[in-house]
Amino acid sequence: MAWRGLHISRPARLTLADGQVVVAQDGGEVRLALEDIAWIVLDAPHATLTSTLLSACMENGVALIVTDATHTPSGAALPFHRHFRQGGVALAQASMVAPLKKRLWQATVRAKIINQAAALGAVGCEGSAPLRAMARLVGSGDPDNVEARAAREYWSCLFASFRREDEGDTRNKMLNYGYAVIRSCVARALVACGLLPALGINHSSATNAFNLADDMVEPFRPFVDVLVWRTIGEGSPSREALTLDHRRAMAGVMLADCVMAHEAMTLLAASEKVSASLVRAIESGTSEVLELPTMAP
* Predicted confidence (pLDDT) at residue 219 exceeds the cutoff of 90: yes
Question: Where are the domains positioned within the chain?
Answer: 4-77, 86-289
Q: How far apart are CA 225 and CA 150, in angstroms?
A: 15
Radius of gyration of the chain (CA): 19
Residues 6+ positions from 284 with CB-CB distance below 8 Å:
none
Q: How far apart are CA 258 and CA 269, in angstroms?
A: 9
Q: What is the mean pLDDT of residues 108-136?
A: 97
CA-closest candidate to residue 185, choices 71, 274, 91: 274
CA dihedral 184, 242, 49, 271 (to 10 degrees): -20
What was the pLDDT predicted at 27?
85
Burial group, residue 53, by CB count within 10 angstroms (0-12, 13-18, 19+): buried
CATH topology of domain 86-289: Four Helix Bundle (Hemerythrin (Met), subunit A) (1.20.120)
* Predicted confidence (pLDDT) at residue 234 exceeds the cutoff of 80: no
* Predicted confidence (pLDDT) at residue 18 exceeds the cutoff of 80: yes
Sheet holding 12-17, edge to edge: 28-33, 20-25, 12-17, 47-49
* Predicted confidence (pLDDT) at residue 143 exceeds the cutoff of 70: yes
Query: Domain spanning 4-77: which CATH class is it, in words?
Result: alpha beta
Q: How far apart are CA 180 and CA 76, in angstroms?
A: 9
Question: What pTM was computed for the model?
Answer: 0.92
DSSP secondary structure letters along 154-180: HHHHHSTT--TT-TTSHHHHHHHHHHH
* Predicted confidence (pLDDT) at residue 81 exceeds the cutoff of 70: no
* Predicted confidence (pLDDT) at residue 118 exceeds the cutoff of 90: yes
Query: How far, CA to CA in Å, does 111 sit from each of 41, 73, 119, 199, 254?
Result: 28, 26, 12, 21, 18
* Predicted confidence (pLDDT) at residue 141 exceeds the cutoff of 90: yes
